[in-house]
Structure 1
Amino acid sequence: MDGKPRLLDQVREQIRLKHYSIRTEYVYCEWVKRFIRFHSYRHPEEMGAAEVEAFLSDLAVRKNVSASTQNQALAALLFLYKQVLQLDLPWLGEVVRAKKPSRLPVVLSLAEVQQILAQLDGEIALAANLLYGSGMRLMEVMRLRVKDVDFMRGEILIRDGKGMKDRVTVLPRCLVEPLKTHLTLVKARHNAELKEGRGDVYLPFALERKYPNGPWSWAWQYVFPAAGLSVDPRSGRARRHHLDEKRVQRAFKAAIKRTGIVKLATPHTLRHSFATHLLESGQDIRTVQELLGHADVKTTMIYTHVLNRGGLAVLSPLDRA
C-alpha cells in the first residue's frame, strides 16, 4: 500500500517529463490505480501479460467498455511498464489490442448546422461557430491563445494539437468582427486584473522560465477564458484557466434538443461537418487533410464515404417506378 503513492508519483513525473497533458496524466494514473486494485494491490513488477489480459478482458466482458476505452487502458499500462518501471516487455506481442469498429462519422447538413448555431448565443455561440468554421477540435478552441489568431492573414495557428503537432487553419471572415469584439471585452477584464496584481495564465513546456512576464502578457491570454479563477493542479497557483469545455457540450446538446434534430451529434460533429462540406464544395482532399491536421490522408478519406448518396450514389429502383 505504501508503494502505491510512490508509484503514481513516478508515473506523474514521467508524464510531465514527456510534456503530456494534464488530462493524460489524470487518465493514465486512474488506469494504473484500477489495474492495481483489480489484482488485489499487487505491484505491477510482479505481473505481466496474463494479468494485463485479465484486466482488459474484464473491461470488455463485465464492464462492456468500447474498444477505444480498452486500448486507452492498454496504452496507460504500457506506459507504466516501459517508461516508468523501464521493464522489457517480451510478452507485449501476446497482448491483444481491441479492434476498433469502422464507423462513419455523424455529419450534419448545412441547414442543420445553421439551425443549431442559431440556438446558441454569447461566447458559446462564437466558440461553436469557430468549431464549424475552422474545423478545430473542441479543446483546440478552448486552449486557443490571443497570439495565435492572425486577423491580417485570416488564419488560426493551432499549437500542440493532437500528436503534439502545429498546424494552420482558416479564420472565417464572418467571424473576424465578432471575434474582435469578444477580445475587446476579454482584454478589458484582463487589464482590470493586472491592476489588481493578477491576470496570469498557465504557460506550457517551462516557457514561464523562458518568459518570466509571459503569463501576464496579453498575447498569452486565452481567447475563451473561464469566468472565475481556479487552482492549477500542478503548480497549486490560483489563476484564470480557459472556458470549461463541458459548458459548450451541454449548450450544444440543449441546442440540438430544441431544434428537434435526431442525429447523435456533439460539438466534434461540427469538425466532421466542416470537412464534409469542404469536400462537397470541391475542395482538394490534401488541403482538407492539412486543415484538419491528419497525419495520413487515409484518415481524411473517410469523409469521401460520407459524401456518397443513397448507397454509393445508386438510384433506387423504387425511384424509377
Structure 2
Amino acid sequence: MRIPRLRYDKHLPSYLTKEEIKRLLGSITYLKHKAILTTIYSGGLRVSEVVNLRIADIMSKEMKIRIRNGKRNKERYTLLSQKNLEILREYWIKFGYKNYQPDDYLFISRQTKKPMKVRGIELVMDKSIKKAGITRNATVHTLRHSFATHLMNGGVDLRTIQALLGHSNIKTTSIYLHVMDYEILNIKSPLDTFE
C-alpha cells in the first residue's frame, strides 16, 4: 500500500516595510545589537550566518560580505552597504580588541568571549520589535525576507537575489514574486488601460 505524501501549505514570507525596518534599527541603543541586526538586514543573512562571521569576512574594499558557513556549508558573497560598514566600524572602535586575528569571530559574547548564540540574537530582535512599537509578528529571519522583498521591489532581478541569498533553486527565491509591491513598481491592471 502506498502512503500519500503530506502536502504542506506554503505561506508567503512575512516582511517588514522599509519604514518599519528604519524604526526597528532606530530603536536599538546598544551598538553591538544594532550592528548585528543591521548586518542581517543589509546583506540578507541568516542568523546562523551572522554568528559565524569572521573579521576578515567584512570586505570593505570590495563592499561585500563573505558568507563561509551558509546553508549546506555553501560559500557566497552578499552586499555590504555603506551605512552598514559605518556602523560596523563604530562597533569595532568600541568593542574591538587588540591583537585580533582576521579569522576571529566578529560578534563575540562579552561574558564567554565566544561567538554569540543564535538564541541571544533572537531575544535582541524580540526586544527591539517591542521597543519600536511594531505589532506584527517578526523574527530575525523576517529581516532576511525584508531584504529580498525590498530588492525585488527595487527592480533587482530574481537571479541576482537568488545569488545574494544563497538559494540553490530559483523556485525558492521566486516566492518573493508573490510579495512584490505592484504599486511601487507602477504596474496597472490591463483593465485600467481600457479607454
When normalised by structure 2's length, the TM-score is 0.85
Mind listing any 5+ residue stretches in structure 1 that lack a counterpart?
1-92, 192-216, 230-239, 316-321
Correspondence 1:218 to 2:101: yes
* Candidates 128, 131, 147, aligned match of 1:274: 147
1:81-160 → structure 2 map (5 Å cutoff): 98-121=6-29, 122-160=31-69
**Count of residue pairs the alignment pairs up:** 185
**1:120 touches 1:251 (CA, 8 Å); kept in 2?**
no
Deviation at 1:99, TM superposition (A): 3.1
Deviation at 1:183, TM superposition (A): 2.6
**2:45 touches 2:165 (CA, 8 Å); kept in 1?**
yes
The structure with more helix, counted as a fraction of residues:
1
In 1, Cα distance between the equivalents of 2:154 and 2:132?
25
State the one-letter code of the partner of 2:91: H
Cα 1:98/1:187, change in 2 over 3 Å: same
1:7-26 → structure 2 map (5 Å cutoff): none
**1:106 touches 1:263 (CA, 8 Å); kept in 2?**
no
Q: CA RMSD in A?
A: 2.3
Larger Rg: 1
Cα 1:255/1:108, change in 2 over 3 Å: same
When normalised by structure 1's length, the TM-score is 0.53
**1:160 touches 1:166 (CA, 8 Å); kept in 2?**
yes
For CA contacts below 8 A with separation 6 or more, give which structure has more relative contact order. Answer: 2
* Candidates 234, 249, 255, aligned match of 2:128: 255
In 2, Cα distance between the equivalents of 1:309 and 1:264?
23
- The equivalent of 2:173 in structure 1 is 300
Mind listing any 5+ residue stretches in structure 2 that lack a counterpart?
190-195
Correspondence 1:181 to 2:54: no
